[in-house]
Amino acid sequence: MSLALIALMSVFVISLVIWLLILFLSVTEGIEKNWLGRLTSLNAPLRITPTEEYYRSYYHLIDEHSYASGYEKKTFHEKLTSKLTDPYDASIDSELPLYIPKPVKGSRGEVIDYAKEVQKSLSSIPPSLTEIKAHDYQLAGALLRLTLARKPIDQPYSLLPSLHFLTQAAYVNSIPMDKGPLHSLITKPEASDINHLIYLANTGGINSSEDVPDSMERLEKPLAERLLPIFNNIHIKSYKTEGRFSLPQEVIEDPIVAFARKTRGEIFYFMIPSSVDAKIPEGDFAKGVIKKYDDHLIFTENGSTNAVRVDITAPLLLAQPVTFSGEIDHVSLLEAAQLTDVLISAKIPLQDQMFQTVIPWKEITISEVEIENQFSRPPECAPLWAYFVENNLVLNEGGILLPIHFREQGCFIGDSGFFSFGKTSPLMVSEQRKRVYTSGFYDPGVISTGVRYILTSRDVVSSISSKEESLVIDPLIANGFQIWFDDTMKASEVADFLKQDFKNRGIDQYFSITPFYEYDFAKDLIGQFQSDRDLFMLIGVIILLVAICNIITLLLLLVHDKKTEIGIFLSLGASKLKISTIFALAGVILGGISVLIGSCLAFVTLKNIDALVWLLNKLEGRDAFNAAFYGSKLPNEFSVLAFTFIAIAAPLLSLGAGLIPAIKACMLRPSQILRSE
Amino acid sequence: MKDSANVLFEAENICKTFTYPETVELLKNISLYVNKGESVSITGPSGSGKSTILSILGTLDKADSGKLYLFGKALPKRNFAKIRNENIGFIYQNHNLLDEYTVLDNLLIKAQIGRKSISKNSESYQLALSLLEGMNLLHRKDFSAKLLSGGEKARVSIARAFMNDPEIILADEPTGNLDFEAASLVQTLLLETCKDLGKSLIVVTHDLDFAKRCSRSYIISNGHLTEQ
């Protein structure tokens, strides 16, 4: 009986350890996968960049000396779209300087077009290896300066915003507009963005910046035109009142509970509580009931029989913010000269009553909203945020996508500013500016440089990088090709294929092919992932070993308990091998059962990880898992790798544990046992 | 009398010394033999090494030197399990039954260890039934061994020793725990069953009457075995 109890305890402890191990390994593997996914979404699992040899080549240098190229160097994008591989025309262009090498020619005497050869090589990757998506990217360096125009807290009615500035030295990266993994990083606009856009449209806060893109410069336009790109692309589910929201007096048909603010016996305004049993706020307030008559209000204080007549214009402020539903009156929106002209047919829940009334848009924010950013065809009134038409990304002119960290710094969609770049001479800095505004945010993952990558259209990057010396960006990475594919683990195979193909095409010395695990900024992170995993595996094995010591104890007790039986079996002709096999097998069976129970528990837990997170949050009284590190949701995919590791390691260790009592059983001397009994 | 052609089991120059807790030379060049169908007793004072010699003969213990012969052939130096299962039957003073098993299962387990069939129609099953019948225990076959009386346990132990049709039965004080009447019955059953089935018997006992009932007797004293 006691042995059975110990066996049960052993199985319980090992199952618990296995449950924990699989759970932790699955979650950490999921987190690693997420991070790696975000890393390779932003930077692609494979990158092809030109070498110094490329920059010294005729193919690259010749554009600066050719009329056909406008005497300007070309990016890969321009090279790919150019019809001329060799733009030099000796009859028009001046004689080439001596440092320009001779062009490299193919077997038929034509100048080899490196960019197009890369493109051909990429198309030759067999689908059996992987399906790829390639994008020729451009990277530029610039200083981003954003103006954050906000409603002044101390002057709520002021149309003049308070201004803050945010400056960041940034990498400006071109984002492919057709469907790509980068799109998955773009986050949806939030209600706070919409409220901010409405504020900007109403106050012209955006114009307080000296540089605002044309697409945002709308104060000259009627308010309706400024609001329609917002309201046409959202569906408001609920609104919330702000501090000075006043309930229209005409809604009072039945008496409602109110706190009257009295000064020298005279009532100036009322505070309307959400519930009838609300406590009196601090200050000179009297609790009572108000009732509306034709042209005035009557206030009767609790415990008093005297009713006080109050002017109908006395404001009815809400004591607490209230969330309510409503419909915007479209006609009022089209005719609005200012935001307060926009009317809402509202249903306001107060004191267990539903007040239906039409209220102006004043001291109201959007609480919950559905924001359209996926369209099947171009929208009639384009939204101000980044959106998709079918699978293609659309950024308005000057639109940029900021890393999500900017949101934490208080940025909203609509915040505008400029990229500053230019040429530095010994005498002065010639600064140029490109006006931009925040179209959206994306999640760059955890790479240290992620916070500095700003995504935008190729035009914006080109306008910065065409200036010779902007912020210093290594030319070896400023322009190149990014190659995406689903299974990032195939990066090495794809790189090998391309290296061989480049060699066959004679362009291998002009390009370097870098898989993600060799990126400078990712090496440390990936190494850290590996170390963490190894360390946790080691800790796991140690914990498992400790747990498995239970099996050793149990089976040693069993050997001791059953030594007479062992002696009898030996005397009846059982071999020592058979006897020891029984104990070794017992260890394996106990380990196997534990693996089964632990794995099933882990599977169920992972499927219900949200409940576990909720419980931990409750216990800790705060978010137990930081979203920046773990992602918005803990990964819950069952790790096959972890299970395989456990399913092999646990029974093997159990077998090892079973061998110790097995040896002990072998060493028993049946002659002594049977005689002494 | 030693009849070389008829010798079933023979021990030659067996030596055994125990070193813990102190060095004791227990068996000094002991030799003995048992003919086919013969019963041999070994008597001697307590601690003289009677049980030790029986364990060595039964391959449960190892001699420091000396040889064992079965049918004139030297036993191998290892893999004694098969020999024990097929050729030797043990009977102990405390019976050493598997208490959790039934009487019948206590017999069948020996066949099972030898990978023999124990289905109801099998030879082993029928042998077990006939042995139990011979011991007048057929009515107890489904009883748990722990519920039996001492005499009954002794008889089950004898029946089990004859399972797998062994050549020789080694009995270590088989009646040591029994009263006179039960002991007499068990002795008779053992000797008669050996005689009936033509099995050889080596019995270690303090009971001189029992020793006298055997064909030959040895006495062990001071590490030496002498035939009487």
**If we measure between CA atoms, which residue out of A174, A159, A320, A196 comes closest to residue A247?**
A320
Q: Where are the alpha helices (DSSP H) in B13-116?
A: 50-57, 80-87, 103-113
How far is the C-alpha of B220 from the C-alpha of B44, rounded, in Å?
Answer: 5
Phi, psi of A491 (to 5 degrees): -55, -40
pLDDT band with cut points at 50, 70 and 90 for residue A157: low
Interior CA angle at B37 toward B31 and B38, to 5°?
45
List CB contacts of A220: < 8 A, sequence separation 6 or more: none
Flag if A671 and B86 touch (Cβ within 8 Å): no
Q: Establish if B89 touches chain A: CB-CB under 8 angstroms.
A: no
Q: Establish if B113 touches chain A: CB-CB under 8 angstroms.
A: yes
- Predicted confidence at residue A677, as pLDDT, reads 44
List CB contacts of A138: < 8 A, sequence separation 6 or more: A75, A77, A173, A174, A458, A461, A462, A465, A478, A479
The residues that bridge with A258 in the sheet, in sequence order, are A288
pLDDT above 70 coverage of chain A, percent: 92
pLDDT band with cut points at 50, 70 and 90 for residue B93: confident
Q: Is the peptide bond before B21 cis (omega within 30 degrees of 0)?
A: yes
- Predicted confidence at residue A450, as pLDDT, reads 62
The residues that bridge with B224 in the sheet, in sequence order, are B221
**In the predicted model, is pLDDT for residue A634 greater than 80?**
no
Three-class DSSP category at A510: helix
Q: How many helices (H) and strands (E) does chain B have?
A: 7, 10
Orientation angle between helical segments B123-134 and B150-161, nearest 10 degrees: 140
Highest mean pLDDT among A98-102, A520-524, B22-26, B222-226: B222-226
Q: What is the pLDDT of residues A45-60, one digit of tens each?
A: 899 999 999 989 999 9
Nearest CA in chain A to B82: A573
Q: Can you read off the two tokens belonging to residue A225?
A: 């035109």
Q: Establish if B94 touches chain A: CB-CB under 8 angstroms.
A: yes
Residue with tokens 């959202």: A234
Q: Which of A7-21, A123-137, A200-214, A243-257 has the lowest mean pLDDT?
A: A200-214
Tell me how close the Cα of A578 comes to any Cα of chain B, in angstroms: 10
Tell me how close the Cα of B49 comes to any Cα of chain A, in angstroms: 12
- Predicted confidence at residue A676, as pLDDT, reads 47
Q: What is the pLDDT of residues A278-296, one digit of tens each?
A: 787 777 788 888 888 878 8
Of A564, A573, A578, Cβ closest to residue B96: A564
Interior CA angle at B4 toward B1 and B7, to 5°?
80
Output the CATH code of domain B4-227: 3.40.50.300
How far is the C-alpha of A556 from the C-alpha of A542, rounded, in Å?
Answer: 21
Of A568, A575, A677, Cβ closest to residue B81: A575
- Predicted confidence at residue A208, as pLDDT, reads 47
**In the predicted model, is pLDDT for residue B105 greater than 90?**
yes
List residues of A whose CB lies inside 8 A of any B CB: 564-565, 567-576, 578, 669-671, 674-675, 677
Q: Establish if B116 touches chain A: CB-CB under 8 angstroms.
A: no
Q: Which of A130-134, A468-472, A521-525 has the lowest mean pLDDT?
A: A468-472
Highest mean pLDDT among A38-52, A233-247, A302-316: A233-247
**In the predicted model, is pLDDT for residue A260 greater than 60?**
yes
Interior CA angle at A320 toward A315 and A325, to 5°?
90
- Predicted confidence at residue A164, as pLDDT, reads 84
- Predicted confidence at residue A214, as pLDDT, reads 52
Flag if B110 and A573 touch (Cβ within 8 Å): yes
Of A565, A567, A573, Cβ closest to residue B84: A573
Contact yes or no for A48/A115 (Cβ under 8 A): no
How far is the C-alpha of A366 from the C-alpha of A345, rounded, in Å?
Answer: 14
List CB contacts of A141: < 8 A, sequence separation 6 or more: A169, A170, A171, A172, A421, A464, A470, A471, A472, A473
pLDDT band with cut points at 50, 70 and 90 for residue A473: low
Highest mean pLDDT among A246-260, A618-632, B128-142: B128-142
Flag if B82 and A573 touch (Cβ within 8 Å): yes
Nearest CA in chain A to B53: A671
Q: Establish if B81 touches chain A: CB-CB under 8 angstroms.
A: yes
Q: What is the pLDDT of residues A161-171, one digit of tens each?
A: 778 888 988 88
Please report the number of interchain residue pairs, chain A to chain B, with beta-carbon separation below 8 angstroms: 63
Orientation angle between helical segments B180-197 and B150-161, nearest 10 degrees: 10
pLDDT band with cut points at 50, 70 and 90 for residue A413: very high
Dmax over Cα atoms in chain B, in whole Å? 53
DSSP A181: G
Tell me how close the Cα of A585 comes to any Cα of chain B, in angstroms: 18
Q: What is the pLDDT of residues A546-560, one digit of tens each?
A: 878 888 888 888 888
Flag if A574 and B79 touch (Cβ within 8 Å): no
pLDDT band with cut points at 50, 70 and 90 for residue A630: low
DSSP A468: S
- Predicted confidence at residue A448, as pLDDT, reads 58
Q: What is the pLDDT of residues B195-222, one digit of tens each?
A: 999 999 999 998 888 999 999 999 998 8
Give me the amino acid identity at A500: Q
- Predicted confidence at residue A156, as pLDDT, reads 62
The pTM (predicted TM-score) of the whole model is 0.63
How far is the C-alpha of A252 from the C-alpha of A297, rounded, in Å?
Answer: 9
Rounded to an integer, the average pLDDT of A186-205 is 87
Give me the amino acid identity at B158: I
Q: Which candidate in A569, A571, A578 is best for mutational testing of the B interface (most B CBs within 10 A)?
A: A571
Q: Can you read off the two tokens belonging to residue B37?
A: 């169908």
**In the predicted model, is pLDDT for residue B109 greater than 90?**
yes
**Average per-residue pLDDT for chain A:** 84
**In the predicted model, is pLDDT for residue A218 greater than 60?**
no
pLDDT band with cut points at 50, 70 and 90 for residue B148: very high
